[in-house]
Amino acid sequence: MTRYYANDAGPDPLSDAFARRTAVMPFRGKKRLPAEEIETRWRAILSAPSWPGKRLVYVHIPFCANHCLFCGFYRNAYVPQTGADYVKLVIEEIRREARAPALRDNPVHAVYFGGGTPTALSARELSDLLATVRAELPLAPDCEITVEGRIIHFDPEKIDACLEAGANRFSIGVQSFDTEVRRRQGRRASREEAVRFLEGIRDRDRAALVIDLIYGLPGQTPEVWHQDLETAAALAPDGIDLYGLNLIPGTPLSKAISAGKFPAAAGLGDIGALYRAGADFFRRRNWRQLTNNHWGRTTRERNIYNMLIKEGADCLAFGSGAGGSIGRYSYGLTSDLQRYGEDMHAGRKPIGMLSASDAIQPLRDRVTAGFEVGHLDLAGLEKAAGGAIASGLFTPLLAQWRQAGLLTLEDETIELTVAGRFWYANLISAFHEILQTQLCPTDNAA
């Protein structure tokens, strides 16, 4: 248990509670099925009625105008004919499965078009995809439909096409408004162009507008970061996401830093200070903190997809590179465009990976969802475990985390401090590992 303790030597838990920020392992407790069993098992999954519960849809668009230096998700440059062919395949994929028992019975409460860059597609392609989802899938009357995008190539025709086809939320990856910081990361639009673009969406007043910012980018001083926050808030969007830079090995940014072309990435102390500055900024303005990284200004911003995915809601996935889940099964569609097309033309779901979760996955989901929003009902977790968790199992760890300034604990409810919200992934990972050790000792030993 002590190996999960936070450091207690430093005065500021935001900068030194742990040696590094860990990632939550999405495949913990999941067993991959052999490739030769995937097609048969997938057909069985589709033919079985789904359990009641809120559901999601994710549609992946694996194209971008260019590779931004910090991004680890770039796959394919957008080429008009390739994009058009791809959209037809995704539409066919949706139509093939829409009447399957696993999809047709429970309403979908949020749809997310992600990537890549969905707005790299043409206005007609975006419209056709949105129309297909709305026509073929059982969307709830108040379904949140998000289109993720960036400023370049997202012209007024595409914005209006999305709105007319039913999009009611735009998540725009701005990252920084500072022109120099933007251009060094491969973002072509200037600060002024970014502001005008966002004003155009806002002033239509027909969909929630969410701005994504990244803190810790090279050249993004505390002064630049404060100006980024001021500029974003002045635009009066419905929501803002703040993400710390994740320096992914192999990305152009990582390579540039290694080659000495860019200064070293910001350290944890600097990153933590920037997070605190953002959290304090929105607290003073009375924005609602919906999750550790997301703030809402208006009631139009609900953040349904991002919150339900952390709760373990079923997510129906379509498109090359998409990932989803149905019941105890998680799946990932092949990210290889050629194979995706070949499988589709052969009448097969282009699944590259299919896994089955163990019995404690609902407990992991409960932990993840709780810490994601900054509080966890410990008594509820123990009740959900049906007595399998030893009484007081987490008591020493929580006492140490509380002493380190990461949380408070009252009436069996954990509340994260600002520092705890910054380190939330470390806390989730620790809980997951302890649950795995206690409830699945055989699997853990293996």
Task: Give the Å distances, CA to CA, from 425 to 185, 188, 343, 369, 432.
Answer: 26, 32, 36, 11, 10
- The answer for residues whose C-beta is within 8 angstroms of residue 380's C-beta and 6 or more apart is 366
- The answer to whether residue 67 scores a pLDDT higher than 70 is no
Q: In the prediction, which pLDDT does 74 show? A: 54
Output the pLDDT for position 250. 72
Query: Please, are residues 106 and 50 in contact by the beta-carbon 8 Å criterion?
Result: yes
Q: What are the pLDDT digits (tens) for 268-292? A: 889 999 999 999 999 999 999 999 9
Q: How far is CA 419 from the centre of its chain?
A: 21
Rounded mean pLDDT of 223-247? 95
DSSP 255: H
Alpha-carbon distance of 135 to 145, in angstroms, equals: 13
pTM of the model: 0.94
Q: According to the model, what pLDDT value does residue 442 have?
A: 62
Mean pLDDT within 127-153: 96
Chain centroid to CA 358: 23
pLDDT digits (tens, 9 = 90+) for 417-445: 999 999 999 999 999 999 999 998 665 43
pLDDT at 63 over 90: no
Report the pLDDT averaged over residues 338-342.
97
- Pairing type for strands 169-175 and 239-244 reads unpaired
Q: Which pLDDT tens digit goes with each residue over 394-422?
A: 999 999 999 999 999 999 999 999 999 99
Give pLDDT, residue 1.
Answer: 76
Give CA–CA dist 331/315, Å, rounded.
10
Give me the torsion for CA of 166, 167, 169, 173, rounded to 10°: -170
Residue 409, token pair as written in the block? 């604990």
Alpha-carbon torsion (208, 209, 215, 221), positive or negative = negative
SS3 267: coil
| 2-19+360-445 matches 32-310 in fold | no
* CATH class of the domain whose range is 32-310: alpha beta
Quick one: pLDDT at residue 153? 85
Poorest-pLDDT segment among 248-252, 272-276, 376-380: 248-252
Residue 68 is predicted with a pLDDT of: 56
Confidence band, pLDDT 50/70/90 cuts, at residue 446: very low
Q: Residue 102 and residue 50: Cα distance in Å, rounded?
A: 5
Distance of alpha carbon 60 from the chain centroid: 13
- Chain centroid, CA 106 distance in Å: 23
Structural domain boundaries in the chain? 2-19+360-445, 32-310
- Does domain 2-19+360-445 fall under CATH 1.10.10? My reply is yes
Lowest-confidence pick of 107-111, 196-200, 388-392: 388-392
Q: Check pLDDT > 90 for residue 5.
A: yes
Strand order in the sheet with 375-377: 375-377, 413-416, 407-410
In 3D space, the residue among 361, 266, 291, 255 whose CA is nearest the CA of residue 30 turns out to be 361
Q: Report the pLDDT averaged over residues 286-315.
A: 97
Residues 398, 80: Cα–Cα separation, whole Å: 54
What average pLDDT is seen over the chain?
92
DSSP secondary structure code for residue 119 in this structure? G
pLDDT band of residue 27 (cuts 50, 70, 90) is: confident
